[in-house]
């Protein structure tokens, strides 16, 4: 009889860059993989600084999975420092990439500390559209099958089952937002992480920060946003799980808008929170949004 240690040793060691991606990999890999996540729940990949333990984790991996689109600006240095020579799969390969709005293009283009990343023109938050995650799953399934050919049939079965859940989620979400008039689908969030979500479900998101939480909005940006909230009578104002709430509290107070709940943008919650998996994260966020939009 195999011991627990032997069973763990038999699993394929895979590293995912951040918690949402780690969950997706785990759904496809199932019992055949051991997934380590570099940026954990409630942590911010925008300001992540790799530690020595991260080097060891990457060095031991057989496969590394990243989001791509400039989201993990620290990954190339980490992989090089770890001496990793295995495959790196970019989960977002093949999606229809959205570009950042021009009004946000300069927010995080100034020099930052060495750990900071720059997104460039591409918006990296592609997982906010569940149909993009279908593409993620197919890329991850192919990469796992290449690395571990004997498990290919299991990975395909797991991937197909997860894709069915993603499609079900998308149909449910589309039906929910269809009940809200277009003119009322306006939301304020901490940073610009919901462009894919907004484009897919026809919800307009505004944010004082650009696509990176490692940027600081100017006083002019904040004042303009407050004027817009007042003029358009926007009442759905949210903070995010990785963000400092002070800015959003200031904006909601000055604009006379009630601060809504918390949204999970770039990270899962911890296991005992409301968003410990990608599917639960999306359903939780949608529930929070709908509750506020229906009040307007």
Q: Is residue 175 part of a domain?
A: no
Domain identity same for 276 and 144: no
What's the pLDDT at 241?
54
77 and 209 in a common domain: no
Q: Tell me: the pLDDT tens digits for 267-292?
A: 999 999 999 999 999 999 999 999 98
Tokens linked to 238? 């949210």
Give me the pLDDT at residue 215, please.
54
Residue 280 lies in a domain: yes
Convert the pLDDT of each residue in 171-210 to its tens digit.
Answer: 999 999 999 999 889 888 766 789 999 999 999 987 664 4
On whether residue 124 sits in a domain, the answer given is yes
Domain count, the chain: 2
Q: Say if 62 falls within a structural domain.
A: yes
More confident residue, 44 or 217: 44
Taking the chain, what is the end-to-end CA distance rounded to the nearest angstrom? 61
Yes or no: say if 124 and 69 are a contact pair by the CB < 8 Å rule.
yes
- Shared-domain flag, residues 25 and 58: yes
Q: For residue 97, which phi and psi values (nearest 5 degrees)?
A: -75, 135
Q: Using one digit for the tens of pLDDT, what is the confidence trace for 207-266?
A: 664 434 455 667 777 777 777 777 777 766 776 654 556 766 777 777 776 666 788 999
121-174 pLDDT, tens digit per residue, is: 789 999 999 999 999 999 999 999 999 999 999 999 999 999 999 999 999 999
* CA 160 to the chain's CA centroid: 21
**Does 37 share its domain with 158?**
yes
Whether 45 maps to a domain, the answer reads yes
Positive or negative torsion for Cα 291, 247, 18, 67: positive
CATH value at residue 240: 3.40.50.1980
Domain span at residue 24? Answer: 4-167
Residue 173 lies in a domain: no
């Amino acid at each position: 009889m195999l011991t627990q240690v032997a069973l763990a040793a038999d699993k394929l060691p895979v590293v995912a860059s951040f918690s949402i991606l780690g969950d997706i990999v785990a759904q496809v890999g199932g019992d055949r993989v051991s997934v380590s996540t570099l940026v954990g729940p409630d942590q911010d990949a925008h300001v992540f600084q790799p530690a020595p333990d991260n080097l060891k984790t990457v060095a031991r991996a057989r496969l590394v999975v990243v989001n791509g689109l400039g989201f993990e600006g620290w990954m190339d240095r980490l992989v090089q420092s770890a001496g990793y020579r295995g495959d790196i799969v970019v989960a977002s390969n093949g999606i229809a990439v959205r570009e950042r709005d021009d009004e946000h293009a300069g927010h995080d283009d100034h020099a930052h500390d060495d750990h900071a990343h720059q997104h460039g023109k591409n918006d990296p938050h592609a997982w906010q559209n569940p149909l993009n995650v279908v593409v993620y799953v197919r890329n991850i399934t192919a990469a796992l099958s290449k690395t571990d050919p004997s498990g290919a049939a299991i990975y395909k079965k797991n991937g197909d089952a997860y894709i069915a859940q993603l499609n079900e989620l998308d149909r449910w979400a589309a039906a929910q937002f269809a009940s809200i008039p277009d003119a009322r689908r306006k939301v304020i969030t901490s940073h610009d992480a919901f462009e894919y979500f907004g484009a897919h479900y026809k919800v307009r998101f505004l944010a004082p920060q650009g696509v990176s939480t490692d940027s600081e909005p100017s006083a002019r940006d904040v004042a303009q946003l407050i004027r817009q909230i007042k003029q358009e009578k926007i009442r759905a104002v949210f903070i995010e799980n990785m963000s400092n709430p002070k800015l959003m509290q200031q904006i909601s107070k000055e604009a006379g808008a009630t601060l809504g709940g918390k949204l999970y943008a770039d990270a899962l919650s911890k296991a005992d929170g409301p968003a410990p998996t990608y599917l639960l994260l999306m359903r939780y966020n949608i529930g929070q949004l709908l509750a506020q939009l229906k009040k307007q």
